[in-house]
């Protein structure tokens, strides 16, 4: 089913928070200068462009999945601090800095009323749209049956860990976190290794009764799609979004 099309807005936002969330991820929150909110389906993304303080010139924009729920007073994003040798400008930004946000965009859309049993598979900051989905499920008390597989490189890279664990308890989420680069002495006693067909089947033995959503870097998404094919998951039950 095609997702709803939302009008695209282009507005100036003010940075309200930019802080280190994990060793590799910066948490960023922005609020519209005119105090308006953006309506979208959880899972969608927006383009963020920096604004030069002296000239007002826009810097080249980048796409970021929205982690906040629809119509939130503040928009939340998870930004990789350094990617491909480039350091994000958000690591040196200060509250009050201005940005232009354009959106929403994308067809990676979650509508709880249409999906009562889901499997979410996230890689790294590909967790962002799922945080939006979980927050939305909680807000509207949707009662969605959620299984979440969350792949991270190191145990220290769990984004919004405390909130995630609270949502797990409140929403009854079946959560599997796997660490792909375990280190001696890192204190991790949970699952390790890359997500594969066996891991997915273990976490979601009823996978063919669920709609699956996948988000992460391209190699991750491709590997998950291949695993889902092995498990005979129909293509129309797989929704994927790629970053990076």
CATH of span 9-105: 2.40.30.10
Cα 114 vs. chain centroid, distance in angstroms?
20
112-243 to CATH, choices 3.40.50.80, 3.40.50.720, 3.90.550.10, 2.40.30.20: 3.40.50.80
Using DSSP bridges, classify how beta strands 9-20 and 98-105 pair: parallel, antiparallel or unpaired: antiparallel
Q: Can you give the C-alpha Rg of the chain in angstroms?
A: 18
Report if pTM > 0.75: yes
Query: Is the distance from CB of 87 to CB of 23 less than 8 angstroms?
Result: no
| Torsion sign (Cα): 22, 24, 25, 26 | positive
Helix or strand holding residue 224 (H, E): helix 218-230
C-alpha span between 216 and 149 (Å, rounded): 12
Cα 131 vs. chain centroid, distance in angstroms?
6
C-alpha span between 106 and 96 (Å, rounded): 28
**What is the rounded (10 degree) CA torsion for 12, 57, 80, 72?**
0
Question: Can you give the pLDDT at residue 243?
Answer: 81
Domain with CATH 2.40.30.10 in the chain: 9-105
Domain with CATH 3.40.50.80 in the chain: 112-243
What DSSP line would sit under 24-50, residue for residue? SEEEEEEEETT-------BT-EEEEEE
Cα 172 vs. chain centroid, distance in angstroms?
19
Q: Write out the two tokens for 151.
A: 């792949």
85, 158, 191 from 177: Cα distances, Å: 27, 9, 6
Question: Can you give the pLDDT at residue 177?
Answer: 98
pLDDT, averaged in runs of 10, over the chain (244 residues): 84 97 98 97 97 91 96 97 85 95 97 94 98 98 98 98 98 98 95 98 97 98 97 95 81
């Amino acid at each position: 089913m095609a997702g709803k099309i939302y009008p695209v807005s282009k507005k100036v936002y003010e940075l309200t928070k930019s802080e280190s969330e994990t060793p590799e991820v910066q948490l960023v929150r922005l609020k519209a200068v005119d105090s308006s909110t953006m309506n979208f389906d959880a899972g969608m993304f927006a383009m963020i462009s920096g604004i030069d303080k002296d000239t007002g010139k826009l810097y080249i924009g980048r796409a970021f999945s929205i982690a906040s729920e629809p119509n939130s007073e503040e928009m939340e994003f998870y930004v990789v601090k350094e990617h491909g040798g480039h350091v994000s400008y958000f690591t040196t930004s200060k509250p009050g800095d201005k940005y232009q946000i354009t959106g929403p965009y994308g067809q990676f859309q979650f509508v709880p009323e249409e999906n009562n049993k889901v499997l979410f598979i996230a890689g790294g900051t590909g967790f962002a749209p799922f945080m939006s989905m979980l927050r939305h499920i909680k807000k509207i008390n949707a009662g969605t049956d959620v299984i979440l597989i969350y792949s991270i490189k190191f145990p220290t890279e769990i984004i919004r860990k405390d909130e995630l664990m609270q949502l797990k308890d409140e929403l009854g989420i079946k959560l599997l976190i796997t660490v792909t680069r375990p280190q001696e002495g890192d204190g991790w006693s949970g699952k390790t290794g890359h997500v594969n067909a066996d891991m997915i089947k273990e976490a979601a033995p009823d996978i063919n009764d669920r709609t699956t959503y996948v988000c992460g870097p391209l190699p991750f998404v491709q590997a998950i799609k291949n695993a889902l094919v092995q498990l005979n998951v129909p293509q129309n039950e797989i929704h994927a979004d790629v970053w990076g």
